[in-house]
Chain A
Amino acid sequence: MFREQQKLTNRSMAIGLRALNRFAGSPLVDRLGLRAPAERFVYGASKTTMRTAATAGRTFAAAQKLATPARQPTAQPGGLFDLTPTDEQRLLSESVRDFALHKLRPAALDADFACAAPAELLRQSDDLGVTMIGVPEELGGAVTERSAVTAVLIGEALAQGDMGLAVACLAPAAVSTALSLWGDEEQQATYLPDFVGDSIPAAALAVLEPRALFDPFKLETRAHRSGGGYVLSGVKSLVPRAVDGELFIVAAALEGRDPALFIVESRAGGITVEPEPAMGIRAAATGRLTFDDVELPVTSLIADADPEIYRACIQLGRIAWSALAVGTGKAVLDYVIPYVKERTAFGEPIANRQAVAFAVSNIAIELDGLRLATYRAASRADQDESFAREAALAHTLASEHGMSIGSDGVQLLGGHGYVKEHPVERWYRDLRAARLMEGVLLV
């Protein structure tokens, strides 16, 4: 166990994540290693019923402001078809996968029950720097270049541990990435320092609304201009870490027309929050936010309500959910292979039967197709090529085949797949999310 931790530390240092340097060496080893595995986290369990005012939250104050907003440059590939990640991407995803398999996976069952991610795990995830991936270097970020592909690889790796915990870990990253990509110099100066500091705020990107046939381009949450700012009203559903959330980016129809993104601090008056546990991704502590004439400053509007930016936000979210489905799908595949080889029926391993073996083949085939489609969509985003179509196709594959993989994972274990002794029932519940979720994540 200690060797694994040591390896994780070394790898992470090699990546050169600035945040990690502060925790390199013994503190990180101690933090990760000394945690008793049997310790039960019931953090947040008491919050599962009450409807409360949003958390008071911290005060976000503008730090030193740049003259213009900082943006990460994008690296352009050499034009050849290539499935080889960069060294940085490989090291980063390996260290995140180590964390996911050795820290998230063992905590997943309890977190699913508790409808909350253990605070300690979230801290460790923050220490790994997942909220800093999208932040420009001049604002304290960790990675030189803007890369949706890198974010996809990280999401995939985290979800291989557990999708619910991955959503909890990545929720603040969606906010920091949105501010990095689209925030102006003042918004960046006000909020981004907190996402590269010692105490990363619970934050989330809230798009979904609670109704059938939800369309993220037809929102019922509304914002209208009033005085020097905006007034926001409406309901947002399945917002991760909502009860603890200190900062939200909220999608709302501006003056009843095109959707736009608003920065909303939880301190603003008129926000109520209630836990909204769902079929899956329960560790993300999903909740429902109600905005009742919430007054927002004029500086809260992102990118001047540019509809193209909102469109990109939705598309990047779909790529992110596809990436999580890839990770969870991989978890299913890796789990069923040894199971069907060990489980015997009628005198031989069930893997010797085509009906079983072909189901495993199909999981692998559809998973690889989904993975490649997700990479392509992200790679096109990085190259400034249109990616609406590719994002939609990856998301469709995640919706259809991702869910089939979850269902087959349970089926291959039979009755054993239906009980919580095995994680496949959780993955079945989690994978349904990939189809209906909008926003929440960004790559």
Chain B
Amino acid sequence: MINLEVPKKFGVLIGQAHQIANEVMRPNSRKYDRAEHTYPKELDMLAAVVNGMNDSGGLSGAGAGGVTRGSVSENGSLPGRHGTRNSSNLASVLSVAEVSWGDVGLLLTMPGQGLGNSAIAALANEEQLERFGGKWAAMAITEPEAGSDSAAIRTSATLDGDDYVLNGEKIFVTSGERAELIVVWASLDRDRGRAAIRSFVVERDNPGLKLDRLEHKLGIRASDTANFVLSDCRVPKENLLGSPEIQATQGFAGVMQTFDSTRPLVAAMALGIARACLEETRERLREAGVEIDYDTPASVQSAAAAEFIGMEADYEAARLLTLQAAWMADNAMPNSLQASMAKAKAGRTGTDIALRCVALCGTDGYGEGELLEKWARDAKILDIFEGTQQIQLLVVARQLLSKTSAELK
């Protein structure tokens, strides 16, 4: 039965996430925006709390490591036929949005909550889950010459005895300096194109993995962004996620499947920032004498009120698209179209709302005395990583129009 309210059972989780956001993230937001590359030590304490949340029964797996495909239930029937399922994917987007309301840079550097954790959750076998579970995993996809075109990556993986030997260069690795594991995308055979791309788990202290430098960025400065060189970096062959067989279609689909889980999370981050901006702006508009009235037509309210309602409407659309994508994953429905739609809408809406709120709030919005200007800088990355706006539109268009990547470039 159609219901788009957040279930009450997630109230505790959201409440805890809100406390973290309000009491740990917000008070440290500006500090680590200024002190780029300084590890936010406040988060160590937090990691313990978050792990405690994850271990506390029904809501286990909330956060980046919790996103995974819904599975067939114990009695063998698909969930959804006789009832719906609200589980770890929904819990994850809700808690990520809530913590991002606090600070998305700090969220991105939360120990144990890397995007590599999502890849491991989605692709690892039981033995790998055992070995890598509980460790902080970053994700290394982008290379100097391969950004959105993931299939063009040059980092190679060559089997030598019981090890794969990785060689190449990776850039823009979020939490690359701080994580314990790096999930590295590499090609088993560069002549075989995307079919040969696999992800490998590399221990951060592997001597073949050298930190090249840390980036200075527009926003999310609390989160370190590392560049690596892999030179004869040996990893046990058991660290390959998924099958080593190069199949014409399936391999790349496997690594791309990670995106179906992670894109709604990035969308959720954009929702968190957007809501923070809207709440702050609503308060400042109220101080300026503008109340938002939902019954009176926008065209007879002040321009500021009308603009606010317009922004809120786009926020609502982005939020529901994100919940839809997560709900589908919880119910084992293919969701790559909806995941990309959510990411596209939330990514652009987050940036748009943040920038407009800065403008509406004037010098208070633009100045460093408040956080609005920071949110507007932070928001931009969410329309870029895990697939830019343009990549999402391509993914959506190819599905709607049944086009291959060769036809619709």
User: Which A residues touch B400, using CB under 8 A?
Assistant: 337, 360-361, 364
Q: Tell me what chain B mostly uses at the interface: helix, strand, loop, or mixed.
A: helix
Q: Are B1 and A373 in contact (CB under 8 A)?
A: no
Chain B, interface residues (CB within 8 Å), range: 35 or more
| Residue B211 is within 8 A (CB to CB) of chain A in the complex | no
| Residue A29 is within 8 A (CB to CB) of chain B in the complex | no
| Residue A81 is within 8 A (CB to CB) of chain B in the complex | yes
Give complex CA distance A19, B338 in Å.
38
User: Which B residues touch A365, using CB under 8 A?
Assistant: 321, 341, 344-345, 396
User: Which B residues touch A91, using CB under 8 A?
Assistant: none
With contacts A85-B2, A373-B317 known, what are 4 further pairs, Cβ within 8 A?
A78-B83, A83-B4, A372-B4, A393-B294
Give complex CA distance A376, B327 in Å.
15
Q: Are B407 and A393 in contact (CB under 8 A)?
A: no
What is the chain A residue whose CB lies nearest that of B338?
A368
Given contacts A369-B320, A372-B317, A360 and B397 within 8 Å (CB-CB) = yes
Chain B nearest CB, measured from A400 CB (Å): 7
Show 10 A/B contacts (Cβ-Cβ < 8 Å), sorted by A: A77-B2, A82-B327, A358-B393, A358-B397, A360-B400, A361-B394, A369-B320, A373-B320, A383-B5, A385-B5
Contacting residue for B84 out of A82, A364, A368, A385, CB 8 A: A82
Q: Are B407 and A352 in contact (CB under 8 A)?
A: yes
3 closest Cβ contacts across the A-B interface? Answer: A369-B317, A372-B320, A357-B397
Q: Are A393 and B5 in contact (CB under 8 A)?
A: no
Give per-residue flags for B379-406: 1 if the beta carbon is below 8 A from chain A beta carbons, else 0: 0000000000010111011101111000
- Contact residues of A between 149 and 183, Cβ < 8 Å to B: 149
Given contacts A80-B3, A82-B3, A400 and B313 within 8 Å (CB-CB) = yes
Given contacts A214-B297, A311-B295, A369-B321, A84 and B84 within 8 Å (CB-CB) = yes
User: Which A residues touch B1, using CB under 8 A?
Assistant: 75, 77-78, 82, 84-86
Q: Are B2 and A84 in contact (CB under 8 A)?
A: yes
User: Which A residues touch B300, using CB under 8 A?
Assistant: 213, 215
Give complex CA distance A400, B313 in Å.
10
Give complex CA distance A367, B312 in Å.
16
Give per-residue flags for A425-442: 1 if the beta carbon is below 8 A from chain B beta carbons, else 0: 000000000000010000
What is the chain A residue whose CB lies nearest that of B87?
A80
Give per-residue flags for A361-399: 1 if the beta carbon is below 8 A from chain B beta carbons, else 0: 110111011101101101110010100111111101100
User: Which B residues touch A86, using CB under 8 A?
Assistant: 1
Given contacts A77-B3, A78-B83, A83-B327, A361 and B396 within 8 Å (CB-CB) = yes
Q: Are B313 and A82 in contact (CB under 8 A)?
A: no
User: Which B residues touch A314, using CB under 8 A?
Assistant: 295
- Contact residues of A between 321 and 374, Cβ < 8 Å to B: 337, 340-341, 351-352, 354, 357-358, 360-362, 364-366, 368-370, 372-373
Given contacts A84-B80, A372-B321, A352 and B299 within 8 Å (CB-CB) = no
What is the chain A residue whose CB lies nearest that of B1?
A77
Given contacts A354-B408, A392-B295, A82 and B2 within 8 Å (CB-CB) = yes
Q: Tell me what chain A mostly uses at the interface: helix, strand, loop, or mixed.
A: helix
Q: Are A81 and B295 in contact (CB under 8 A)?
A: no
Give complex CA distance A373, B2 in Å.
12
Q: Are A215 and B321 in contact (CB under 8 A)?
A: no
Chain B nearest CB, measured from A87 CB (Å): 10
Contacting residue for B313 out of A337, A352, A393, CB 8 A: A393
| Residue B285 is within 8 A (CB to CB) of chain A in the complex | no
Give complex CA distance A77, B317 in Å.
22
Give per-residue flags for B3-17: 1 if the beta carbon is below 8 A from chain A beta carbons, else 0: 111111100000000
Give complex CA distance A138, B3 in Å.
27
Q: Which of B1, B295, B300, B318 has the most CB of A within 10 A?
A: B1
Q: Are A368 and B3 in contact (CB under 8 A)?
A: no
What is the chain A residue whose CB lies nearest that of B320?
A372
What is the chain B residue whose CB lies nearest that of A380?
B5
Q: Are B401 and A341 in contact (CB under 8 A)?
A: yes
Chain A nearest CB, measured from B315 CB (Å): 8
Give complex CA distance A436, B321 in Å.
26
Q: Are A373 and B313 in contact (CB under 8 A)?
A: yes
Give complex CA distance A396, B308 in Å.
11
- Contact residues of A between 72 and 119, Cβ < 8 Å to B: 75, 77-86, 89
